[in-house]
A and B are shown apart, each in its own frame.
Chain A
Amino acid sequence: MDWLTIGLIIFVISWLQILCAYLIYLERKVAAWVQDRKGPNRVGPWGLFQPIADGLKFLFKEQVVPAHVHRFLYILAPSIAVITTMLAFAVVPFGPTDVPDPRQKRFIIAPNLDIGLLFIFAIASLNVYSIILGGWASNNKYSLLGSLRSAAQIISYEIPLALSVLGVIVLVGSLNLEHLLNEQARLGIGGWLIWYQPLGWLLFFASALAESNRLPFDLPEAEQELVGGYHTEYSGMKFAMFFLGEYTHVTTVSLLMVILYFGGWHFPFVAEFNANYPGATGVKVLVLWTKASLVILVIMLLRWTLPRFRFDQLMHLAWMGLVPLSLLNLLSVMIVRHWSLSPWLLLPCSVIILTAIPLLHRWKSRQLDWA
């Protein structure tokens, strides 16, 4: 029993609650700005107390369990959504990883887990159970359709997600997120993996959006067709738990993207590796969370920029678009690593793959009708 771990756990759980509440507020504000409305502005200054009011409302709302549902699974589904997404956060460093003594101060719940990245994917993909159980237990046609779509979508995008990250792993040779981050920070801005894996990053971003059911991939809850998809029958606290899960997942994915591709807490001159001027740790934490917030903001703006996919387009994109691209990406990284070529070759390589393959695809599908 060490008190640091216990303190960190309590801090992370409460921090995720506050963060998710305010992400929902931000989402509503962004939506309002995009649509030229005001958004929540009644509770407190600029509506800043809105999340607290919402939380209280969720708590005091009637816990409706409709008569036709499978009671146990109906309650289990939102619990799984929260448990899996929050558990995946355990191996994500949310601050600098170059602290001298990790027994005194650290910014990760479970440090030194060599399985890090695989753990995140394994746990986060369990999230599909919450959706399919929720949809099936609800005994509602909208819910069932939404959950089926969602399950197909999540498992399809799982493969390009894992394949695209494999490029990073081959490049660095580790699954440990702290190690990945330190390697990038040590090399400075030229070490950020985005320079070597732009294609991998793009594939990761697209798949991660689909994994977390965000627009343009939010077919499972396409309001216009399916009311609310798998959470049509949910209300009160259980409904809030689904959203807690979704926003926790968005946070994890954003942090992961920053850590894998954008150097995590590293920023030239301000937050260099082993910089130890007074307040350096705080600056590093700030840099990391600023980058992650920017990613979250991009995700939110994308929601109001891109129209939703049709379901067949969605499946085609995953299986015929992203999978071959990520396989080629993996092959190029393997070749570079095997013959110890300069990793900078990967930058033009990514661009060539990204432009050539869709063109080829287009030309092929015009010739034969099997695309």
Chain B
Amino acid sequence: MATELSAWQPLGLYLLAILAFVLGVLALAHLVAPPRPRPIKDMPYESGVDPLGDARLRFDIRYYLIAVLFLLFDVELLFLYPWAVAAYADNGLPVALRDAAFLGVLVFLGLLIIGYLYEWAKGGFRWR
């Protein structure tokens, strides 16, 4: 299978085309549509009530906690993806290394699960 850089060339072209498309659509809408700003129209929509103060308030710490948890799990997943391909591809690991790789990943997943259970016991997933 192609791993050289030329396999990415269509992707680059596609990205450029999408960028051009998005900019084009925004510019076209900007040119065609009539600008008619009014003070009331420019207010934030809060169900017809005049907004009180800025909307950029402090928010709940639990969102932050979820983000940290996500980061941990996502890094682990990023490790598992290359492993899955390397270990189980048709021309992947030699037979001698299979057992070691399997055990290694079991240990890795075990650590992940211990952390997960700890987080569960601590109530890190509880949203109340």
Q: Which residues of A contact B (CB under 8 A)?
A: 5-6, 8-10, 12-13, 58-64, 66-68, 75, 79, 82-83, 86-87, 90-91, 109-114, 118, 136, 138-144, 148, 151-152, 155-156, 158-159, 162-163, 166, 169-176, 179, 227, 232-233, 236-238, 241, 311-312, 315-316, 319-320, 323-324, 327, 330-331, 334, 337-338, 370
Contact = CB atoms under 8 A, between A and B. Distances in A.
27 contacts: A8-B10, A13-B17, A13-B21, A60-B33, A63-B30, A66-B42, A79-B22, A79-B26, A110-B10, A111-B7, A112-B1, A112-B2, A114-B3, A114-B85, A118-B81, A140-B51, A144-B56, A152-B63, A152-B66, A162-B74, A169-B81, A169-B85, A175-B85, A227-B47, A233-B44, A320-B120, A327-B116
Contacts, number: 206
Interface residues of B, number: 75
B8 A151 contact: no
B111 to A, nearest CB: 12
A237 B26 contact: yes
Contact of A140 (B9, B10, B45, B73): B45
Interface string B80-102: 11001101111010000010001
Contacts of B47: 227
B85 to A, nearest CB: 6
Contacts of A136: 56
| Main SS class of interface, A | helix
Interface of B: 1-3, 7-11, 13-15, 17-19, 21-22, 25-26, 28-30, 32-37, 39, 41-47, 51, 54-57, 59-60, 62-63, 66-67, 69-70, 73-74, 77, 80-81, 84-85, 87-90, 92, 98, 102, 105-106, 109, 112-113, 116, 120-121, 123, 125-128
